[in-house]
């Protein structure tokens, strides 16, 4: 199974036109992946290239337009390039000695500082200069860390790879999605419904990653559909450590799982893995404050083809309208990039599981919501809340259960909901 782009370290190359960004990508990959031309402005929109840098592992290199682009179209290209910061873990600032280090480069550094993104200064085209010339030009600037390379001759490329390894942020991705919740030898039951929304012949990405993580953690994964869950416990000669369910069958899974066994969902695990679970749990409090006519943003990372009873476009809006007892003004934003502005027009943001975003991009969206003062929640959290099982779905995270159990009413509602479900079985 190939490594999804969202799990790769994202490295963006910034620099002036013809500084050699595309050539540098070709040098790093050892392949002619990026179009190289002497004509300024060859690269327009950001271009993503997946590769491996050992021992760092899978990365995505992002080639951007020139930061000195001119004209109205040039400014639009620059804007698209700077949006890349939302998902960038490390910046390579490519500098042509002839152009030097000036206001354009300083602007990139300022944006990197604002997003707390580390920068490696890459002085390119060193094959055209004497070492003493370069030292005289750049030593007074005290640029750190700095690497001198020639994308043409490949000089300094190994040193650049080592600099990437040394300065890549350690927290760019969590080491495990579920492994820290289980022990070697544990059994984890994964509840995976097969319905209209399920892709034919394969599992969706969060399911794949969770199952692989269970195996990598030396534990055992048992995969069942929701109607087989209650029978699965009878087949096991030991109690499972955890049940992970698809959020669409929360009620069935919660009702069939004994109360002394921890239960959560793929979506809640990904809320922690890709973002900030505590903020997303706190966001659910805003649901009770919604009123008819309020604006709600449904944000999805991918542009999948919606099914008849689509979770984001149909089910969640229907549940929310039932909660408020009236209509809501609901916008749907699909795909990458920042959330739409002005964000403070919304009373709530409901985000998908973010399996197609890298962690920095999801954290950036959460921060964008915080700055705008808009509560944000994800599919798994809000669906658990709507079905009255959020306290149960957070059982692997007891420190978060207190957030939604500040009053006993919340827990009573969940208990009553479970009783009704059991009574219908």
Instruction: Render 132-171 in DSSP notation, one character per residue.
Output: HHHHHHHGGGT-SSEEE-BTTTTBTHHHHHHHHHHHS-TT
The answer to whether the 179-270+408-424 and 277-386 domains have the same CATH topology is yes
Neighbours of 74 (CB within 10 A): 18
Extended strands (E) in 355-403: 376-378
Q: Tell me the β-bridge partners of 189.
A: 222, 243
Domain at 277-386, CATH from 3.40.50.300, 3.20.20.70, 3.30.110.30, 3.40.50.11410: 3.40.50.11410
Q: What is the pLDDT of residue 318?
A: 93
pLDDT value for 359: 82
Neighbouring residues of 399: CB distance < 8 A, sequence distance ≥ 6 = none
CATH topology of domain 5-167: Rossmann fold (3.40.50)
CA nearest to 251, candidates 310, 191, 309: 191
DSSP 191-220: E---STTSPTTS--HHHHHHHHHHHHTT-E
Name the E strands within 274-394: 295-300, 329-334, 348-351, 376-378
Question: Domain coordinates of the chain in residue numbers?
Answer: 5-167, 179-270+408-424, 277-386
Specify the pLDDT at position 256: 96
Q: What is the reported pLDDT for 332?
A: 92
CATH label, 179-270+408-424, candidates 3.20.20.70, 3.40.50.360, 3.90.79.10, 3.40.50.11420: 3.40.50.11420
* Predicted local distance difference test score (pLDDT) of residue 356: 83
Q: How would you list the strands of the sheet with 119-123, edge to edge?
A: 47-53, 57-63, 9-15, 90-95, 119-123, 146-148
Tokens of 313: 């476009």
The parts of the chain modelled with pLDDT lower than 50 are: 1, 34-37, 39-43, 407-408, 410-411, 414-415, 418-419, 421-422, 424-425
């Amino acid at each position: 199974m190939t490594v999804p782009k969202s799990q790769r370290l994202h490295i963006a190359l910034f620099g002036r036109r013809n500084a050699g960004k595309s050539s540098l990508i070709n040098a790093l990959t050892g392949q002619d992946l990026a179009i190289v031309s002497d004509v300024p402005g060859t690269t327009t929109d950001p271009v993503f290239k997946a590769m491996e840098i050992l021992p760092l592992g899978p990365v995505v290199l992002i080639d951007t337009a020139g930061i000195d682009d001119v004209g109205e179209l040039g400014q639009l290209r620059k804007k698209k390039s700077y949006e890349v910061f939302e998902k960038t873990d490390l910046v390579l600032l490519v500098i042509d000695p002839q152009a030097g280090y000036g206001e354009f480069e300083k602007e990139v550094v300022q944006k990197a500082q604002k997003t707390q993104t580390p920068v490696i200064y890459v002085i390119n085209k060193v094959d055209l200069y004497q070492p003493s010339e370069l030292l005289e030009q750049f030593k007074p600037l005290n640029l750190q860390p700095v690497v001198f390379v020639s994308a043409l001759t490949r000089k300094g490329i190994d040193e650049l790879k080592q600099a990437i390894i040394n300065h890549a942020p350690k927290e760019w991705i969590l080491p495990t999605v579920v492994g820290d919740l289980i022990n070697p030898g544990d059994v984890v039951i994964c509840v995976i419904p097969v319905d209209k929304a399920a892709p034919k012949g394969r599992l969706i990405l969060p399911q794949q990653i969770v199952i692989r993580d269970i195996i990598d953690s030396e534990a055992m994964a048992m995969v069942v559909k929701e109607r087989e869950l209650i029978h699965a416990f009878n087949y096991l000669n030991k109690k499972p450590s955890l049940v992970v369910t698809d959020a669409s069958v929360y009620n069935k899974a919660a009702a069939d799982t004994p109360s002394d066994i921890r239960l959560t969902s793929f979506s809640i695990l990904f809320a922690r893995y890709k973002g900030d679970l505590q903020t997303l749990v706190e966001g659910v409090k805003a649901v009770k404050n919604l009123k008819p006519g309020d604006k709600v943003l449904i944000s999805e990372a991918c542009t999948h083809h919606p099914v008849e009873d689509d979770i984001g476009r149909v089910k969640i809006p229907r549940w929310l309208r039932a909660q408020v007892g009236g209509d809501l003004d609901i916008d749907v934003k699909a795909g990458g990039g920042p959330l739409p502005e002005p964000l403070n027009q919304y009373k709530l943001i409901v985000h998908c599981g973010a399996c197609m975003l890298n962690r920095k991009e999801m954290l950036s969206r959460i921060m964008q919501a915080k700055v705008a003062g808009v509560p944000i929640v994800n599919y798994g959290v809000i669906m658990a809340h709507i079905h009255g099982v959020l306290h149960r779905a957070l059982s692997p995270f007891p420190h978060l259960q207190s957030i939604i159990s500040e009053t006993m009413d919340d827990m009573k509602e969940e208990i009553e909901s479970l009783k009704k479900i059991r009574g219908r079985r």
